[in-house]
Structure 1
């Protein structure tokens, strides 16, 4: 299933072209690094204690379901390891590690963790909270503490662990974690927590007789408790498709350890969901404890927690399917798993129609800047959800889903799906809007247009937009009226996410040729990344800027610029996990040199610039966390 790693050969190229006036994007890129180096310190000083924990004098559990909130604490720092991996300041990694430890201790004191892992919650949220841990593992793959935790967390889902039934190949409950299956949605089996917060999404299980509306339940507590018991029985046990995000937890352990049992489980569990699709038009969102689809929903393939019906539909279903399929493909080399990822996207697109954005009622924030002034103009929209009354809840398809799938597969059919969305859009895909969602995404369209050669000014506009977004966050920190000695209360725990000034989407797109990570539990999927050969740390060296302008299947184009006078040594790595195999590299118009490995070393004298053209095979080698230093030490040759 896994492939042997190729023998590394690391050509050492030297840039010879001197740039008198560096490109504007290169100067802006280094300025963005500098701005963020100051900004994360402002956030840390304002919102954290000496040991790294967040300033928070309240406790979790009251007024909530007793289970929610863990992810919100970690999410305040979710992209800090990414900034370090891209070339952020040397002390950023230590600061991020301190915050992770401090927040973990804080959550443990509140009874939300068991031995460092969330006690039990859905993977739509756990996936968000784990991004910080995955980032730290990638940044420090040799760390014994992280490696031990990664094994322990993953073992909770392997055969013999509390969450997984290997006979029926199901994760036993929608809420799961270090405490095993956590049945229902709260520790009180009759608790109905969604009477207000999720009212816009309508009633879950709206086909159950005798329960008519949120208003009825809000006015009759006993009726609400009765409905809570129905939800416990119908939706609070068995497997759901968002549990596929747990494959990232296990894939992370494999990438750290190389232990085959982890790869085998990812293939087995993703394979179970692939088999549930076989023979169906639509991948189901639920399976009972015996593995039967619709076991507690009277045969319905829809209706599971965070599934096709409630609350969001395609976004969690599509994310879970893409994350699970990508992880299985990464570890096995079997691209047929990606059919599981394609199905949710193609399913809703078969029902797409031209509709007015003014009619959208849910998940509107992402599209407001794009559709401003076009609310009455029809654009291609797809139904996000499916219930007994058919497909409903039309919206613009979340572009990060098809873009992430195409970026991973680089398959022509996956690109055609994006082109279909573009052709049906009423708004300008080349426009860059300064917007900031908690996912720190939302600019997939102009980046895609840049890669297609239709948006040449994108790098400069995107970098300026990122700096504006960072400045807005810093200003919101400085103007924050929340008592810095007390922090927000339990109902304001998104406060920190809303002010996190670290912005990595622009840097991921431009320097690595990659989209932002899928927020509900995806692992980083960078096309290329970099290492500072002198400091032997990940990221671009000081003064060095990078731009990936082409990622077509037959070649990749990377521009490197040294804006300083000191020489810099860069190692270019193919793939987040050195999983791609570079066959040849060409510097500027020079000859193509053989590589047959994942690394290329580049020497950049002061004010030097070089354009690299790489040919490579995606996922041609064995994926693993690690560093190139052993390969550089043993395989460097003079080109």
Structure 2
């Protein structure tokens, strides 16, 4: 491994570096406070309330979803063990509540299972040498391979929308056996099925007989067959494949994704959301390509279908390196972007408006690009601003000009300022893609400081909420903990690794850069070290490393690609010209610092950088993608 030494004196520490290290410190304090407040000695969450029929397991795991990611970025040494402790404690807890079989979801939809799995995927990536989690990764993935109860190889389908360790779990939760108007949280999404005689409006469900008919029809039609959100199950297979390259997992994931892509091609490029038990699109919905569970018609449309398609696209690209496999994620976006309108969020009826009011702030009153999220017999509807995480991830993995141009089109069609960093945190802990992209474009130089300050403010708010929480921890709502989780990783992923926040409904996390502490032999930045990726381009990434320590040398390994798949061909390195610093002690100032650039050959996936105290270095890494087969990495 090539080694280089930083020589440029730090001088005045850059504000971004100080804020970044402060954020690491704040997060380290925050996760400990959260665990002390809400968790029992065995790692479970303190809860003695009722368990729903099927829904809820995801909410327990989501409270810790990004903790392993923080560890991989450079969080506390004991954070990895804490994440494992809470995963195991919650898994025991959910087994007792009846949600799990052999440590895995008994059977539920992949919109929620994907959320559940983020904590697990993060642990696997952070510590691939843990044999227990490796065995779990393979065992969980085996639940979907040919020969399993869940997968129908003859028709290339997963047999039911609800699936898991118990095999296909036909029907839906008993709480929806009578789908009535008392389900007020579901009212914004309208009728699940829109072709039942005598049920034309939400208010018609106030009739008990109508509510019972709707519930029965949902169980029979929405509760059977395959659905597009099941594409997120491919992350299980890819995660297992990343351990040792077992082709069984690769082959199944590509086969399953390929089946859905062929269905999309047969539907003018729009991925259908349902396939019947006989393998026919629309079999349970009168021939309609829409109507499946978490599909285009109900409840979320693009928010769920587009996310699953993007996850599948990233997974297929990880497995093959073939850009053509990204079509399954690109095509749904083009389908809705081509039907965009210009209107203000505040003047448009949409099923999810609160998130956009928060994310756009005072600019929600301005006309902006709105795209249809859903489709029924009347056509496309439910217009909302584009969710940027989906196209950003396609660009992130491909670095393709077309994917970059798509983002540029969205920027030009937006009526709000992409440079503004607003102080919000949504469920996905995402939503700040626009100002980050503007920074990478060179149009938002203050973004690092603003984003880090915003993140610190959100941590402070979360801990204030924890400190003032008077809820009965034995009976709280199962969403309570995720609303208070004080760990934030979006800012650090963007700035430290050049990577967007993970796709929340079951995505893996192939970061552009990864780091290892060479002296502590663990993932992440060493103590006192801050990193800023300020340029991302095809075949290259530029990053600045800073050691804020006054006395300690730090050694950091920079790796191209989270899974070791890329090669650093060479690095253009900024060094100091001369050795005059710190100068004469009788002088009032240090001598001027002259910089020079040096090009070094690396020819490998990693570069070891020695950072003496108070030194900085800028690395412009020239890389070749996909030189090696991706795999989980350790040091």
TM-score by length of 2: 0.94
Cα shift at 1:594: 2.5
Distance in 2 (CA, whole Å) between partners of 1:189 and 1:456 is 50
Aligned to 1:4: none
The worse-fitting range, judged by mean Cα deviation, of 424-433 and 450-459 is 424-433
Identify which of 541, 553, 559 aligns with 1:556: 541
- Please say if 1:574 is aligned against 2:560: yes
Identify which of 402, 405, 421 aligns with 1:416: 405
Distance in 2 (CA, whole Å) between partners of 1:429 and 1:315 is 21
Cα shift at 1:428: 1.0
Distance in 1 (CA, whole Å) between partners of 2:75 and 2:276 is 46
Distance in 2 (CA, whole Å) between partners of 1:405 and 1:615 is 21
Q: Where in structure 2 are the equivalents of 1:529-608 lying within 5 Å?
A: 529-564=514-549, 565-588=551-574, 589-608=596-615
The worse-fitting range, judged by mean Cα deviation, of 590-599 and 375-384 is 590-599
Aligned to 2:15: 24
Distance in 2 (CA, whole Å) between partners of 1:558 and 1:487 is 47
> Gapped runs of 5+ residues in structure 1?
1-9, 630-639
- Please say if 1:310 is aligned against 2:295: no
Distance in 2 (CA, whole Å) between partners of 1:328 and 1:574 is 20
Aligned to 1:472: 461
Identify which of 602, 610, 621 aligns with 2:617: 610
Aligned to 1:207: 195
Distance in 2 (CA, whole Å) between partners of 1:372 and 1:499 is 22
Aligned to 2:279: 291
Cα shift at 1:419: 1.1
Aligned to 2:585: none
Identify which of 22, 47, 54 aligns with 2:45: 54
Distance in 2 (CA, whole Å) between partners of 1:177 and 1:299 is 27
Aligned to 1:381: 370
8 Å CA contact retained: 2:273, 2:295:
yes
1:157-203 alpha-carbon deviations (Å, 9 max, x no partner): 00111111111110111110110101111258944378322111110
8 Å CA contact retained: 1:47, 1:487:
no
Identify which of 308, 325, 329 aligns with 2:313: 325
- Root-mean-square deviation (CA), in Å? 1.4
Cα shift at 1:573: 1.0
Cα shift at 1:371: 3.3
Identify which of 470, 475, 478 aligns with 1:493: 478
> Gapped runs of 5+ residues in structure 2?
575-595
Match of 2:362, SS state, is coil
- Please say if 1:445 is aligned against 2:452: no
Aligned to 1:248: 235
TM-score by length of 1: 0.93
Match of 1:572, SS state, is strand
Match of 2:537, SS state, is coil
Aligned to 1:3: none
Match of 2:546, SS state, is strand
Match of 1:198, SS state, is helix
Distance 1:27 1:376, change over 3 A: closer
Identify which of 350, 356, 362 aligns with 1:367: 356
8 Å CA contact retained: 1:370, 1:427:
no
Aligned to 2:449: 460
Distance in 1 (CA, whole Å) between partners of 2:3 and 2:375 is 55
Identify which of 209, 223, 246 aligns with 1:259: 246
Cα shift at 1:620: 2.7
Distance in 2 (CA, whole Å) between partners of 1:371 and 1:466 is 17
Distance in 2 (CA, whole Å) between partners of 1:618 and 1:344 is 26
Cα shift at 1:370: 4.3
1:471-529 alpha-carbon deviations (Å, 9 max, x no partner): 00000000001135x251xxx11110010000100000000000000000000121001
Cα shift at 1:462: 0.4
Distance 1:351 1:439, change over 3 A: same
1:327-354 alpha-carbon deviations (Å, 9 max, x no partner): 1111122221101110111000110011
Aligned to 2:336: 348
Distance 1:376 1:41, change over 3 A: closer
Distance in 1 (CA, whole Å) between partners of 2:609 and 2:363 is 47
Cα shift at 1:615: 1.1
Instruction: With a CA cutoff of 8 Å and minimum separation of 6, indicate the structure with the bigger relative contact order.
Output: 1
- Please say if 1:435 is aligned against 2:424: yes
- Equivalent residue pairs, number: 610
